[in-house]
Amino acid sequence: MVSVRSTLVALALALTAASGCTELPASGVARGQVLYTNCEQCHGKSGEGSTLVQAPPIAGLPAWYIEAQFLHFQTGLRGAHPDDVEGLKMRPMSRTVKDPADVKVVAEYVASLPAVKTEATMGGDATKGQAAFATCAACHGADGQGNPDLKAPKIAGQADWYVVRQLTKFKGGVRAYDPADTAGATMKGIAGTIPDEAAMRDLAAYIHTL
Amino acid sequence: MLEHYMKQGSSYASHIDGLVWMIFLMVGFWFLFAEGMFFWLLWRYRKKPGEKAAYFDEHAEHKIKYNWVEIPHRLILVCDVALIVGAISVWTEVKISMPQTDETVRITAQQWAWTFQHAGPDGELDTMDDITTVDELHVQLGKTYKFELASKDVIHSFSVPLFRLKQDAIPGRVITGWFKPTLAGEFDVQCTEICGIGHGIMPAKLHVDTPEEYAAWLANPSHYLAYHY
């Protein structure tokens, strides 16, 4: 005779299966893909980002950079400044991924996504921006593809609104506020040399065209 | 009894618990009385061999109706008045009145973090020595605090179970209130208004410090150098 307990367990399993819950693979990019569903709410299913919630496009960014920034959010090196509205959203979300191995597979999955081209929204002058980009090219490369040895991420094609926002944060100390963020400290110094937001828009317009 | 499950840590926590307890007792008494009477009447006037079940109707004697309907009705009204008086009294104390306060703390909610602006050593907000923290509120035991609560984006709710304090934060408004901590220790703050996918991971820590602990916290130079969380 089937016990009440067995019946309840079978019922619970059937309801779980019917709910659409996805089985989590043990490892690899497939696991990262399932874990990424938590990120989709803001960054989009294809990693295309959302201006509505100020979540940047992340598809195709290098895995090492995604992983490093994820850990920065977790440890408070990034996104813990009271004025970093978007960072304070990402900070608690990053802490929902407890296992560093899971951070790695999510990063690998995001890196595997094809980069998404966004619409320009800031109205900057790419020609003016190209001239100013020489400073950036020293670390990020002339083509903006980045240099992992210098901890400089790929920025080619990045959304212009996001570039302006991050440059503003670097310049104002809202990002790279902690000396332990050494790569951020470099960027903070460089951002400080950009005279105003108009120059940032021009720079972002050029980076967007790469 | 409620304190057994959640400690009382503010000057008005026991008053709120008392009100909850009074509501529980009065509602509980009338619930048990009404249900008991209902089932007793069903049993007492049930159908018996050679006898139909009896029930009251419009032809019942006035005195019977008066006893079973009017008297409990009026007693419940008396209870209602007692509850209303108690509720208004506590509401006025907690939400309407503003006692003389020692310090002001500014609380800003956003998806999904709490920012606390403390007055710093000079006791005044909006001065150079203010200490701003994320998800960490420090207050001093026995001091009366005014708070200014705001939201940067959507509706949140600032809930401190220890204080029995819960206040919505509304975008575009600065809502004031007060509390006086009476129990030292580390306690929970939680958003209690669904505010997006990260609502469930929007906690903060409340540190009710002794004067010595608070002085040591104020003196920590890291407040003035960088943000460490």
- Cβ-defined contact of A178 to B202 (cutoff 8 Å): no
Assign domain B2-96 one CATH number from 3.40.1440, 2.30.30, 1.10.287, 3.90.105: 1.10.287
Instruction: Render pLDDT for A54-111 as a digit per residue (tens, 0 to 9).
Output: 999 999 999 999 999 999 999 999 999 999 999 999 999 999 999 999 999 999 999 9
8 Å CB contact between A66 and A112: no
Phi and psi torsions of B179, nearest 5°: -155, 155
Is pLDDT above 50 for B229?
no
Question: What contacts B18, CB < 8 A, 6 or more positions away?
Answer: B86, B90
Instruction: Render pLDDT for B124-168 as a digit per residue (tens, 0 to 9).
Output: 999 989 999 999 999 999 999 999 999 999 999 999 999 999 999
Q: State the complex-level ipTM.
A: 0.81
Instruction: Render pLDDT for B24-58 as a digit per residue (tens, 0 to 9).
Output: 999 999 999 999 988 998 898 888 888 888 766 66
Averaged confidence pLDDT in chain A: 91
B94 by Cβ neighbours in 10 Å (0-12 / 13-18 / 19+) ranks as buried
8 Å CB contact between A204 and A122: yes
Provide the chain B residues 139-198 that lie in CB contact (below 8 A) with chain A: 152-153, 197-198
Cα separation, A10 vs A117, in Å, equals 47
Using a CB–CB cutoff of 8 Å, tell me whether B115 touches chain A. yes
Is pLDDT above 80 for A20?
no
Instruction: Render pLDDT for B98-136 as a digit per residue (tens, 0 to 9).
Output: 999 999 999 999 999 999 999 999 999 999 899 999 999
Of the candidates A189, A209, A203, the residue with the CA atom closest to the CA atom of residue A128:
A203
Cα separation, B111 vs A86, in Å, equals 9
Is pLDDT above 70 for B59?
no
For the residues A7-18, what does the mean pLDDT come to? 70
Q: What is the DSSP string of B122-151?
A: TT-SSSTT-EEEESEEEEETT--EEEEEEE
Cα separation, B62 vs B50, in Å, equals 27
Task: Choose among B111, B198, B226: nearest Cβ to A178.
Answer: B226
- Min CA distance, A176 vs chain B (Å)? 10
Using a CB–CB cutoff of 8 Å, tell me whether A81 touches chain B. yes
- B226 contacts on A by Cβ (under 8 Å): 177-179
Query: In which band, very low, low, confident or very high, does the pLDDT at A27 lie, cut at 50, 70 and 90?
Result: confident
Question: What contacts B166, CB < 8 A, 6 or more positions away?
Answer: B157, B158, B159, B160, B192
Is pLDDT above 60 for A2?
no
**Domain edges within chain B:** 2-96, 103-223
- B132 contacts on A by Cβ (under 8 Å): 82
Where are the alpha helices (H) located in A113-159, listed in sequence order?
126-140
- Domains along the sequence of chain A with CATH: 24-112 (1.10.760.10), 126-209 (1.10.760.10)
Can you tell me which residue has the tokens 């043990």? A26
CB-facing half-sphere around the CA of A106: CA atoms within 13 A: 26
* Angle, in degrees to the nearest 10, between helices A160-172 and A182-191: 100
Roughly how many angstroms between the first and final C-alpha of chain A, as a whole number? 69
Query: In which band, very low, low, confident or very high, does the pLDDT at A5 lie, cut at 50, 70 and 90?
Result: confident
* Angle, in degrees to the nearest 10, between helices A126-140 and A197-209: 80
**Beta strands at B131-134 and B156-160: parallel, antiparallel or unpaired:** unpaired
Instruction: Render pLDDT for A124-182 as a digit per residue (tens, 0 to 9).
Output: 999 999 999 999 999 999 999 999 999 999 999 999 999 999 999 999 999 999 888 99
Q: B103-223, which class in CATH? A: mainly beta
Instruction: Render pLDDT for B182-203 as a digit per residue (tens, 0 to 9).
Output: 999 999 999 999 999 999 999 9
3-state secondary structure of B156: strand
Strand ranges (E), B145-214: 145-151, 156-160, 165-169, 175-179, 185-191, 203-209
Nearest 5 degrees, angle CA A132-CA A136-CA A140?
145
User: What is the model's pLDDT at position B69?
Assistant: 80
Cα separation, B185 vs B208, in Å, equals 5
